[in-house]
Amino acid sequence: MGKEVRNVVLVDAVRTPFGKAGSMYSETRADDLLVRVVRELLERNPKLPPSRIDDIAIAATTQTGDQGMTLGRTIGILAGLPHSVPGYAIDRMCAGAMTAVTTTASGIAVGAYDVAIAAGVEHMGRHPMGETFDPNPRFLAEKIVNPDALVMGQTAENLHDRFPHITKERADAYAAASQDKTAKAYANGRIQPDLVPVAVRTAAEGVALATADEPPRPGTTVEGLAGLRTPFRSHGRVTAGNAAGLNDGATGAILAAEEIADELGLNKKLRLVSFAFAGVEPEIMGYGPVPSTEKALAKAGLSIEDMGYIEINEAFAVQVLSFLDYYKIDDDDPRVNPMGGAIAVGHPLASSGIRLMQYLAREFADAPNVRYGLTTMCIGLGMGGSVIWENPNYQGAQSKAA
């Protein structure tokens, strides 16, 4: 007997300030960052009884040490949730938190869950990308993948090769604009409300409170970016200035069936419409958002023109620009990352998917005339992930969401 698919909403999303790898969080455990996020979600949503949470899915790319041991379950226990609340760990590299959201949302849609927590963490200072990674020798020996596929910066250089009209100058201009938009969003108080202050201890400064992102570089100029070295290729185009850095941070979100959110009196910040993941050649990893967005749009019966906002993860400027070119969107289109992106604020790998959703929710709240939005990102080893959302605040016709 078939079941009716339920609407799924994102109730709330929070994150820690993002730090530079091994800097302000150098003596803070990854799992403690997650505990702070989960506790904040519960404190901000007192109408949600913890016993109503049906599962916790937590993502990390490098699942070892303080990012290992079935994170969903251990964090639930550490955060003080009832022992009846189960949990698990999940990995889809950079799209870990995005996949935690779509996986738990799928369970909610078919009635397996009513409420779930999805989260993500990456402490790249403690666990550099690729730590303990042992790729099957057949990958390279049998030429199953190009060696470039294992070096994310090199995949970005390959994308520049594939699309030579995307010049370094254009990538630098996009990066400087991201820094400027982030600075303005901070000045206007749009980012701070969704940050969780974190008590930190460092040998240099003792005990302090992290209340803002560490990576942004206000005042960045195209001229200043022009002279940066290109570490992945001599005379290349990818630099530390037009790519996201190495970062530490955690994010989390509450997902619920819309009818349950209404029953409990919970917020509704985003309503899920569709999602999709897709693969591309691993050596041009950054192009993944194009096919995944095409799939998500087709499933929703929508077009890119229907998207009032587009939150795309800025792993590399060239990756964003290749997406914009495919859809014939201007580099400075106000729909795209209006609060800036990962080039400025940071990209702690598996946590970033929820950061995109958090930004979109903030934009939706301020724009009841906008109905649909997209969150999308590239994923290591040649994938893309895209989620289409509807604005619950939209002042218009009945929802098209499933």
Tell me: the pLDDT tens digits for 13-51?
999 999 999 999 999 999 999 999 999 999 999 999 999
Are 65 and 279 a contacting pair, CB within 8 Å? no
Active site includes 83?
A: no
Count Cβ atoms below 10 Å from residue 93 Cβ, excluding itself.
23
DSSP string for residues in 150-168: G-HHHHHHHHHHH-TTS-H
Helix (H) or strand (E) holding 360: helix 352-365
CA distances 382 to 4, 165, 379, Å, are 34, 22, 6
- Cα 207 to Cα 211: distance, rounded to the nearest angstrom: 13
**pLDDT score recorded for residue 402:** 37
DSSP string for residues in 113-145: -SEEEEEEEEETTTS-TTTT----THHHHTTSS
CA distances 180 to 65, 223, 265, 354, Å, are 37, 14, 37, 22
| Of 266, 261, 11, the residue nearest 114 (C-alpha) | 261
**pLDDT score recorded for residue 2:** 64
Helices (H), strands (E): how many in the chain?
A: 12, 12
Could you tell me the pLDDT band of residue 233, with boundaries at 50, 70 and 90? very high
Helix (H) or strand (E) holding 198: strand 198-202
Q: Which of 94, 123, 127, 160 is catalytic?
A: 94
- Cα 349 to Cα 91: distance, rounded to the nearest angstrom: 10
What's the whole-number mean pLDDT along residues 52-67?
Answer: 96
* Weakest mean pLDDT among 7-16, 137-146, 156-165: 137-146
Coil, strand or helix: which one is 387?
strand
- Cα 320 to Cα 253: distance, rounded to the nearest angstrom: 25
Q: Which of 123, 127, 160, 378 is catalytic?
A: 378
Q: Which residue type does 68 have?
A: G
Active site includes 123?
A: no
Are 364 and 373 a contacting pair, CB within 8 Å? yes
**More confident site: 395 or 390:** 390
Q: Which of 123, 127, 160, 347 is catalytic?
A: 347
Q: Say what the pTM is.
A: 0.96
- Tokens 């109503």 found at: 52
